[in-house]
Chains A and B, each alone.
Chain A
């Protein structure tokens, strides 16, 4: 049965090449645009390098103060993390790091821009960076405020040149201080803005004294790691309890917010309590996808109707021989799905080409888009939605055809 449908579908496709081209063009391009978008989002959200323990981590990166007239939202101070977060009972480890700042260094009359980040020793245990050379700095090195650093692979190339000699043991100058390289890690794209940096320095080598600021706000964030993923809700609750008890630091404020987020919640948090980043992001993506799909779908419906009307004699004959409307609708939907999947396959090929070019152009360094099962799964889902959307209405029109008029034509 299906084999027959398949044969008929192919025959119909070959019949009017212009219409076939029209449908396939619409489908494949839509699928391409959606696929590249999905691949991008998937890469940004689901790529778990270097935080492979995401399922048992919570990210605490912001605090927001609200008053009647004003609001203030920023990262956390080291003092606050050390005093409140490090004292939590549920987490087994707390990674502390600063936001990345930029500085320059000048090597043989060349200027290099360096993005640096201060991190504690636990940072390397909570996150699983791929060490190409050497190893992270230890707790002891952190305590002694030793001037050692872990650098990214890209920084190694830029600073020490392209030769393959190991960088470990060499010195790198940043912010007018020489640091000894103790490890080289695989680079991150800048889109993982919570973890990205070119060089990671021990938190104790920070130029400003860590306990200088006794307020809550600062430039640091924390990742708390639970023992098992089952402990995560408990950890969340514990942090919420701490925040609820915090004294509000001034008369101009009446609310204080800070959350221990899962990775995605933290990623899209806008820093504004009244606007949920999650809702915002999902709405924007859905609207965009729907809009992109709407026009090609209308086009397909148009083309499908014209095609069906062309086949009215075939339909009339089948009906006269006793085929039910249901069978016909079913057949047509299957045909349409075959068409969509054909377009989808072309779309996958096209999107591979587009992704290849995006990766080649290095629009965002180290962000390599790729095809994986998640993206493919979404594509297949899109294809099915597409096929059904564009198939249902024409099929319904067809099933209502009167046998006599159909045969007459």
Chain B
């Protein structure tokens, strides 16, 4: 049976080769869209790791005239104290400019436990950060005020980095960093925070306690406000900032708005890709439809003969449908060969599971498409009356 079908396809290889290429291309496009979408969905399903609602980020730049480090420290500490004492402020603290959703990254590479890790986000902040962000500690503790005065070098890392370096083992209390100058004792492990928006996976993170010299370049104050804080209150906060740092440019942003803007980096390409893919799929569907239609009209004699010899209508349509399915299988074998390279070569650093599931979905999708497009022409074929068809011949 199959041998016979293959023979039929082989006899019309010229016409079928075009269809095979078309199905192959659309498979690859759908594979790409599914991989992208699945990966985004996987990341979306992970928890954010912190609460960005009612968190505002104030940007400032260091423009104080004085160069005396003590007076600089005093200005910034007084400023933070006054912000915290405002009526609607829950908590506030300094942070380096790579705050969540800011499209600003400070990354570094390091070796610890003999394991090399690249693209580690380097965050600097003060002891208020954890409460302002509403982040969770998984083990150990977060920094406190006393840590600033202590001379031992300490560090907080995130879950991903801990798993990469220590695996399942306990990390708190161990030393991090292989080079003598980076050796620091881990005091806590913080839950992963998705700093790049809903659709991007969190990355390795080092959380460093800032020293007093860092005020000059930190550039951000994160403020957790009460839900009833409105534009009027924001105006007051702005005036306070502008009054204290007279020569600085001040901007206040809301993290939830920043998130919406940042998500567009993922959503816009996905939407464009989907539109293009949809257009290509419609094209392929119509193409398959057209070719099968033509086949039936051309093979009326053959079909009439089969019916006359006693084949039921269902087997005629089954033949046409299975021919189309075999064509699709041929293209999918070639397509799968290309697609399997992605997880094997680890292109784009996506997890292999995403690629495999996307491949499976794409295969199912193509089969469904071919099935739907061949059912109607198949039905048409089974309706051919042997007498009429043979008379035409």
For A30, the closest partner residue in chain B by CB is B279
A306 and B291 form a contact (CB under 8 A) = yes
List A267-310 residues whose CB lies under 8 Å from chain B.
Answer: 292, 294-296, 298-299, 301-303, 305-306, 309
Given contacts A26-B286, A33-B279, A106-B235, is CB(A175)–CB(B25) below 8 Å? no
Asked if B191 is an interface residue, CB under 8 A from chain A, the answer is no
Asked if B15 is an interface residue, CB under 8 A from chain A, the answer is yes
Of B276, B289, B291, the residue contacting A33 (CB under 8 A) is B276
Measured CA separation A110–B230 after assembly (Å): 9
A109 and B232 form a contact (CB under 8 A) = yes
B252 and A104 form a contact (CB under 8 A) = yes
Asked if B63 is an interface residue, CB under 8 A from chain A, the answer is yes
**Given the complex, which residues of A lie within 8 Å of B249, measured CB to CB?**
101, 103, 175, 207
Measured CA separation A299–B232 after assembly (Å): 61
What are 22 A-B contacts with C-beta separation under 8 Å? A18-B290, A22-B290, A29-B279, A104-B234, A104-B250, A109-B231, A111-B234, A175-B242, A175-B249, A176-B238, A176-B250, A207-B247, A208-B61, A295-B22, A295-B26, A295-B283, A299-B287, A302-B18, A302-B287, A302-B291, A305-B18, A306-B15
Asked if A46 is an interface residue, CB under 8 A from chain B, the answer is no
Asked if A25 is an interface residue, CB under 8 A from chain B, the answer is yes
Given contacts A109-B235, A175-B249, is CB(A299)–CB(B283) below 8 Å? yes
Contact with B along A185-211 (1 / 0, CB 8 A): 000000000000000000000011000
**Given the complex, which residues of A lie within 8 Å of B242, measured CB to CB?**
175-176
A298 and B251 form a contact (CB under 8 A) = no
Asked if B21 is an interface residue, CB under 8 A from chain A, the answer is yes
Asked if A160 is an interface residue, CB under 8 A from chain B, the answer is no
**Given the complex, which residues of A lie within 8 Å of B294, measured CB to CB?**
306
B22 and A306 form a contact (CB under 8 A) = no
**Given the complex, which residues of B lie within 8 Å of A102, measured CB to CB?**
251
A22 and B287 form a contact (CB under 8 A) = yes
User: How many residues does chain A have at the interface if contact means C-beta atoms less than 8 Å apart?
Assistant: 33
Asked if B373 is an interface residue, CB under 8 A from chain A, the answer is no
Of A26, A29, A301, the residue contacting B18 (CB under 8 A) is A301
Measured CA separation A26–B285 after assembly (Å): 11
Asked if A19 is an interface residue, CB under 8 A from chain B, the answer is yes
Q: List the 3 shortest-distance A-B pairs measured between CB atoms, nearest first.
A: A106-B235, A176-B242, A306-B294
Distance of A270 from chain B, by nearest CB (Å): 16
Measured CA separation A142–B289 after assembly (Å): 70
Asked if B284 is an interface residue, CB under 8 A from chain A, the answer is yes
Measured CA separation A303–B234 after assembly (Å): 64
Asked if B7 is an interface residue, CB under 8 A from chain A, the answer is no
Distance of A75 from chain B, by nearest CB (Å): 15
A302 and B251 form a contact (CB under 8 A) = no
List A223-264 residues whose CB lies under 8 Å from chain B.
Answer: none
List A106-121 residues whose CB lies under 8 Å from chain B.
Answer: 106, 109-111, 113
Interface residues in chain B, defined as those with a beta carbon under 8 Å from any beta carbon in chain A? 15, 18-19, 21-22, 25-26, 61, 63, 230-232, 234-235, 238-239, 242-243, 247-252, 276, 279-280, 282-284, 286-287, 289-291, 293-294, 298
**Given the complex, which residues of B lie within 8 Å of A294, measured CB to CB?**
25
Given contacts A106-B238, A294-B25, is CB(A26)–CB(B283) below 8 Å? yes
For A299, the closest partner residue in chain B by CB is B287
Count the A-B residue pairs with Cβ separation under 8 angstroms: how many? 95
Main secondary structure on chain B at its contact with chain A? helix
For A177, the closest partner residue in chain B by CB is B242
Q: A176-B250, A302-B287 are in contact. List 10 more A-B contacts (CB 8 A).
A: A18-B290, A18-B293, A25-B283, A29-B279, A104-B238, A104-B250, A111-B231, A292-B280, A301-B18, A303-B287
For B235, the closest partner residue in chain A by CB is A106
B276 and A292 form a contact (CB under 8 A) = yes
Given contacts A18-B293, A306-B294, is CB(A103)–CB(B235) below 8 Å? no
B248 and A298 form a contact (CB under 8 A) = no
**Given the complex, which residues of A lie within 8 Å of B63, measured CB to CB?**
207-208
A299 and B22 form a contact (CB under 8 A) = yes
For A207, the closest partner residue in chain B by CB is B247
**Given the complex, which residues of B lie within 8 Å of A208, measured CB to CB?**
61, 63, 247
Measured CA separation A111–B289 after assembly (Å): 56
For A32, the closest partner residue in chain B by CB is B279
**Given the complex, which residues of B lie within 8 Å of A113, measured CB to CB?**
251
Given contacts A102-B251, A103-B249, A109-B231, is CB(A298)–CB(B286) below 8 Å? no
A298 and B238 form a contact (CB under 8 A) = no
Distance of B292 from chain A, by nearest CB (Å): 11
List A143-159 residues whose CB lies under 8 Å from chain B.
Answer: none
Distance of A142 from chain B, by nearest CB (Å): 19
Measured CA separation A30–B280 after assembly (Å): 9
Measured CA separation A348–B191 after assembly (Å): 53
**Given the complex, which residues of B lie within 8 Å of A18, measured CB to CB?**
290, 293
**Given the complex, which residues of A lie within 8 Å of B247, measured CB to CB?**
207-208
**Given the complex, which residues of A lie within 8 Å of B19, measured CB to CB?**
302
A106 and B234 form a contact (CB under 8 A) = yes
Of B231, B279, B280, B282, the residue contacting A106 (CB under 8 A) is B231
Measured CA separation A306–B279 after assembly (Å): 22
**Given the complex, which residues of A lie within 8 Å of B291, measured CB to CB?**
302, 306
B230 and A207 form a contact (CB under 8 A) = no
**Given the complex, which residues of A lie within 8 Å of B230, measured CB to CB?**
109
Distance of A213 from chain B, by nearest CB (Å): 12
Distance of A79 from chain B, by nearest CB (Å): 17
B290 and A103 form a contact (CB under 8 A) = no
Distance of A306 from chain B, by nearest CB (Å): 4
Measured CA separation A30–B283 after assembly (Å): 10
Distance of A118 from chain B, by nearest CB (Å): 11
B25 and A103 form a contact (CB under 8 A) = no
For B19, the closest partner residue in chain A by CB is A302
A175 and B250 form a contact (CB under 8 A) = yes
Measured CA separation A55–B234 after assembly (Å): 46
Distance of A89 from chain B, by nearest CB (Å): 35
Measured CA separation A306–B230 after assembly (Å): 68
**Given the complex, which residues of A lie within 8 Å of B234, measured CB to CB?**
104, 106, 111
Measured CA separation A30–B26 after assembly (Å): 15
**Given the complex, which residues of B lie within 8 Å of A302, measured CB to CB?**
15, 18-19, 22, 287, 290-291
B251 and A296 form a contact (CB under 8 A) = no
**Given the complex, which residues of A lie within 8 Å of B283, measured CB to CB?**
25-26, 29, 295-296, 299
**Given the complex, which residues of A lie within 8 Å of B252, measured CB to CB?**
104
Residue of A18, A294, A302, A305 with highest tally of chain B CB at under 10 A: A302
**Given the complex, which residues of B lie within 8 Å of A104, measured CB to CB?**
234, 238, 250-252
Distance of A258 from chain B, by nearest CB (Å): 24
Measured CA separation A29–B252 after assembly (Å): 44
Measured CA separation A90–B61 after assembly (Å): 37
**Given the complex, which residues of B lie within 8 Å of A111, measured CB to CB?**
231, 234-235
Measured CA separation A109–B236 after assembly (Å): 10
Distance of A10 from chain B, by nearest CB (Å): 20
B231 and A110 form a contact (CB under 8 A) = yes
**Given the complex, which residues of B lie within 8 Å of A176, measured CB to CB?**
238-239, 242-243, 250
**Given the complex, which residues of B lie within 8 Å of A26, measured CB to CB?**
283, 286
